[in-house]
Structure 1
Amino acid sequence: MPSPLSADPSAAQPPEGGPVDALISQALRLRGGIDAVRRETAADAERSDDPRLRWQRALCELAAHHVDNLGEHLGQLREGLDREGAAAAAGGAARGASAPAATLPRPPGPVDGADAPAGRVGSAEWNFLTDEVTWSDELFQLFGRRPEDGALTLDELPSWLVPEDREVLTALVTDCLVDGKPIDGEFRIVHGEGAVRTVHMMGEPVLDSDGCTASMWAVLRDVTALRRCRQEVHETRDSAHRRRHHAQTEHRLAVELQEAVLPPWRGSLRFPPAGPPVAAADRGCGGALDLAGHYLPSATSSLVGGDWFDAMELPDGRTLLTVGGLTGHGVTATSTMAMLLGAVRGMAVSGTEPGPLMGWLNHLLDASVQPALGSALCCRYDPVTGTLLWSRAGHPAPLLFRGGVGLTLPPPEGMLLGAVADAEYAQAEERLLPGDVLLLHTEGLARRPELARLPELAPRFAAAGSAHECLRVVLEEFGGTEREDDACVLIARIGA
């Protein structure tokens, strides 16, 4: 639309219809492409509560509204060309004199009570020499006002605005008429049917030959749907930012909590510590433990899980070995894991055997305010007798490597922690010999078919000189696996 800077009616010539039709065709093709992206994005957003997907869907809706508005404006431009001039009439003969305005498909959804299509553009001119006011038919539709009621003067126009925006319009018009500044601003009007709509107004003064303001023209566009889409884009973007910040904070807290709870030692650990040699008759078939453990994060590492491993020397000289894991991720899982691991340590120090200890853990998890399921393995090793007393709760049994052969220890009965109240857990006993290697792990180490390869590591364990070397063998085989969940490994090697 021309931007008159003088009252000379020949200041601008209307564009030809051919290029407008080409632009309309391009807009239609662009709208079809946006629709394809919208459908894909909407389907992804419905399957997930990820705020980033909602933000992407909102961006698609905003892009669709922009193209819809472009189609409306191009259609109005073509209608005007069809009504004016011989060139437009000649173009109409080729296209049909009553060619309809371009209409792009709209996204489904209610229009807020207004008859004017969202994005419709109307024009107005206020002539200060004749006091005439001219409104286009589209502007009457935009305001929900009947043409027979007449166009609004500049003095009447503010009464159609919401009270908070009247000063905005007054300032825009004053700057235009007094200082000659172009009008470019937004305000909200109350549509004839009562709905509040947002209107964007652009205009300029028209000067006579003496440089005085002869009239003012303006173009007003309904941008209600566009602003609503933009608001949704901002809100979903902010929601995604908050979600990402919350996830980063939760991940940091979970990592800090995990690091505070899991054993601080790295490399090998020996239980009991080196001391005076013990006569073979006094120590039976047992020996000191050489220990090594490792935590393996999941492939994404976005959230920390509730897996643990632990080893501690008990007051009577025996050693506690335990691994386990909880369902879920994040601070909730790690805090519950910290609670259970603290309970394991406390009950083991008090002398509770592995079977009853599992029963108390089950009761603790069942009574927790944050219900969860968990699996655990608890072993108590006596270095004097070489006896391993152990119990499990829905957890993989330990693997014993002896003389170049690996086997899984026969598991005692024991269901998942938190599954059934007052569940009972059996115990099993195994005599370990010097040179034996015991491998404890959580389920996330590898997929079940791959875990079947663990016994095949026996020859390499037999050649290893320490628990740390055995751990290195496990990490070489399974450390690079794309795990869906985190995992823990604990190696215990019986010393001579």
Structure 2
Amino acid sequence: MPSHLSADRPAAQPPGRGSVDELISQTRRLKGDVDAVRRDAAGEGSDHPRQRWQRALYDLALHQLSDLDEHLAQLRDGPLPTAAPESPAPGSLLSRVGSAEWNLLTDEASWSGELYQILGRDPAADPLTLDELPSLVVDEDRPRLTSMVTDCLIDARPIDGEFRIVRPGGDVRTVHMMGEPVLDTDGSTASMWAVLRDVSELRRSQRAVSETRDSLRHRQEAARSEHRLAVELQEAVLPPWRGSLRLPHRGTGALDLASQRLPASAHTMTGGDWYDALELTDSETLLSVGDLTGQGVGVTSNMTMLLGAVRGMAMAGARPGQLMAWLNQLLDATVQPALGSAVCCRYRPATRTLVWAQAGHPAPLLFRDGTGRTLNAPDGVLLGATSGAVYGQAEEPLHVGDLLLLHTDGLVPGHTGSAAANLLLGLAPRLAGNRTAEDCVRTVVEEFGQSEREDNACVLVARVMS
């Protein structure tokens, strides 16, 4: 507010009450709307960085709207007298905005009552001169205040800057100072007039927004790095072949193989699902699919360990049932226990026999002569669920032209278990018309790969060629 030292300047008159009252009403409506949206959308109580950042932004907006409301009220009611009968309530806008004028000719200073409260000074004490004012300012900010005052007094530049002050008791506050020189009739600077505002709470809110934004950005960068690492790890261990593969490479009873992995639609995190086909030392072929619970690089790392164990034990001659039991022991012994499901099959080309076992996983589907059925599953619980679990084993004779379909949960969006199997079996007439395993995978993907899916999925198709 203007001081008595500048009485030669015409006093600003308050604008019409009606127009300012309307602005106040609009501000308060907007404040209520922002507060309502904050309660609905800011995730109260959540510790996720995005929710913390949103809450900080809403708090900052509400803080600024509250200040605008009180600014407009002061504008409507006009400037207060220099010595108000009662001090404003602590924390209100009026207690955070004060004014001062320093007369360069008489070295006289005039402060409003609010400025005493902002700077923590005794209202009965004399106001500080411009030479004394830096004594309240923290050491690092004194050059900034000196520069602002010098520019105003020497070059007649407006003041607009911030500095921190230390109040009695050690409380540090941030003060925003805006001012201008008051020129004499000959154009020289006679005094300096300024408005000082305590912006400590506003800066605190802005810091909260900045810190939560940085936390969110770091979390997003970490998530992208983790996703990239998980994808690279998965690509490094899953079979490199694309399109059709023929196993074994020599001899009779070969399988025509094709596979595809379908990523989830709703997130970018990589899961622990896998597929595999491997020619073994005895000319048999290993077929396996599986899935570990969870997402991210830790799960992908466990999946690579599990897949490596499957390959190693199969190469060593382990039968599917025994292989499952050892996998269960391996998961049970890991530092970070996990649950998983899997199907492991050994195909004997000499007799066209499929020997297989499962651990809480969808059974393979067998298609023959335009119809399909689910293979009867031997006993087997989820990997990692029970120590010392025993896994059954089943054999299935196959014919030339038969088609095996192995898959993980999530292949049919919105369906699991028998419901998903029935939808896949419904493709039997179309699959019968496909010439290759790759054509069959394409048919499955065309039917179920375009829908939004919540989880990653794998499909592996094997056709008996001879």
Judge same fold: TM > 0.5, yes or no: yes
Q: Distance in 2 between matches of 1:459 and 1:80?
A: 85
1:83 to partner: Cα distance: 6.6
Cα-Cα RMSD: 2.5
1:484 to 430, 449, 454: 454
Contact 1:400 1:408 in 2 (8 A): yes
1:337 to partner: Cα distance: 0.8
1:313 to partner: Cα distance: 0.5
Equivalent position of 1:223 in the other structure: 199
Contact 1:115 1:144 in 2 (8 A): no
Equivalent position of 1:414 in the other structure: 380
Alpha-carbon spacing, 1:151–1:77, altered in 2? closer, same or farther (3 Å):
farther
Contact 1:354 1:380 in 2 (8 A): yes
Identical aligned residues as a percent: 63
Q: Distance in 2 between matches of 1:138 and 1:18?
A: 27
Equivalent position of 2:90 in the other structure: 115
Query: Given the alignment of the two structures, is residue 66 of structure 1 paired with residue 36 of structure 2, yes or no?
Result: no
Equivalent position of 2:241 in the other structure: 265
1:296 to partner: Cα distance: 0.6
Equivalent position of 1:109 in the other structure: none
Q: Distance in 1 between matches of 2:447 and 2:269?
A: 24
Q: Distance in 1 between matches of 2:283 and 2:72?
A: 87
| Farther off after superposition, 266-275 or 345-354 | 266-275
Runs of 4+ residues deviating >6 angstroms: 1-4
Structure 2 letter corresponding to 1:78: R
Equivalent position of 2:294 in the other structure: 328
- Count of residue correspondences: 457
SS in structure 1 of the partner of residue 338 of structure 2? coil
SS in structure 2 of the partner of residue 147 of structure 1? coil
1:200 to 173, 176, 198: 176
Contact 2:182 2:189 in 1 (8 A): yes
Q: Distance in 1 between matches of 2:32 and 2:24?
A: 12
Equivalent position of 1:366 in the other structure: 332
Query: Given the alignment of the two structures, is residue 315 of structure 1 paired with residue 281 of structure 2, yes or no?
Result: yes
Equivalent position of 2:45 in the other structure: 46
1:324 to partner: Cα distance: 0.2
1:245 to 221, 224, 227: 221
1:14 to partner: Cα distance: 4.3
Contact 1:116 1:144 in 2 (8 A): no
Q: Distance in 2 between matches of 1:72 and 1:196?
A: 24
Equivalent position of 1:356 in the other structure: 322
Alpha-carbon spacing, 1:389–1:69, altered in 2? closer, same or farther (3 Å):
same
Query: Given the alignment of the two structures, is residue 427 of structure 1 paired with residue 393 of structure 2, yes or no?
Result: yes
Alpha-carbon spacing, 1:7–1:136, altered in 2? closer, same or farther (3 Å):
closer
Q: Distance in 1 between matches of 2:384 and 2:270?
A: 21
Q: Distance in 1 between matches of 2:108 and 2:14?
A: 24
Matches within 5 A, 1:59-208: 59-80=57-78, 115-117=90-92, 120-208=96-184
SS in structure 2 of the partner of residue 176 of structure 1? helix
Q: Distance in 2 between matches of 1:196 and 1:48?
A: 29
Structure 2 letter corresponding to 1:343: A
SS in structure 2 of the partner of residue 452 of structure 1? helix
Equivalent position of 1:111 in the other structure: none
Equivalent position of 2:312 in the other structure: 346
Q: Distance in 2 between matches of 1:290 and 1:200?
A: 76
Return 5+ residue gaps in structure 1 as ranges. 85-97, 102-113, 279-286
Contact 2:273 2:290 in 1 (8 A): yes
Structure 1 letter corresponding to 2:92: P
SS in structure 1 of the partner of residue 380 of structure 2? coil
2:438 to 443, 447, 468: 468
1:116 to partner: Cα distance: 4.1
1:403 to partner: Cα distance: 2.4
Alpha-carbon spacing, 1:456–1:382, altered in 2? closer, same or farther (3 Å):
same
1:340 to partner: Cα distance: 0.7
1:217 to partner: Cα distance: 0.6
Q: Distance in 2 between matches of 1:320 and 1:188?
A: 72
TM-score by length of 2: 0.92
1:411 to partner: Cα distance: 0.9
Q: Distance in 1 between matches of 2:66 and 2:101?
A: 26
1:379 to 345, 350, 357: 345
| Farther off after superposition, 12-21 or 329-338 | 12-21
Structure 2 letter corresponding to 1:64: L
1:392 to partner: Cα distance: 0.8
SS in structure 1 of the partner of residue 10 of structure 2? coil
Matches within 5 A, 1:8-19: 8-10=8-10, 12-19=12-19
TM-score by length of 1: 0.86
Structure 2 letter corresponding to 1:293: S
Structure 1 letter corresponding to 2:39: R
Alpha-carbon spacing, 1:148–1:11, altered in 2? closer, same or farther (3 Å):
closer
Contact 2:292 2:303 in 1 (8 A): yes
1:3 to partner: Cα distance: 12
1:341 to partner: Cα distance: 0.6
Return 5+ residue gaps in structure 2 as ranges. none
Residues 381-420 of structure 1 show CA distances to partners (whole Å, capped at 9, x for unaligned) of 1000111111111111111112222111111111111112
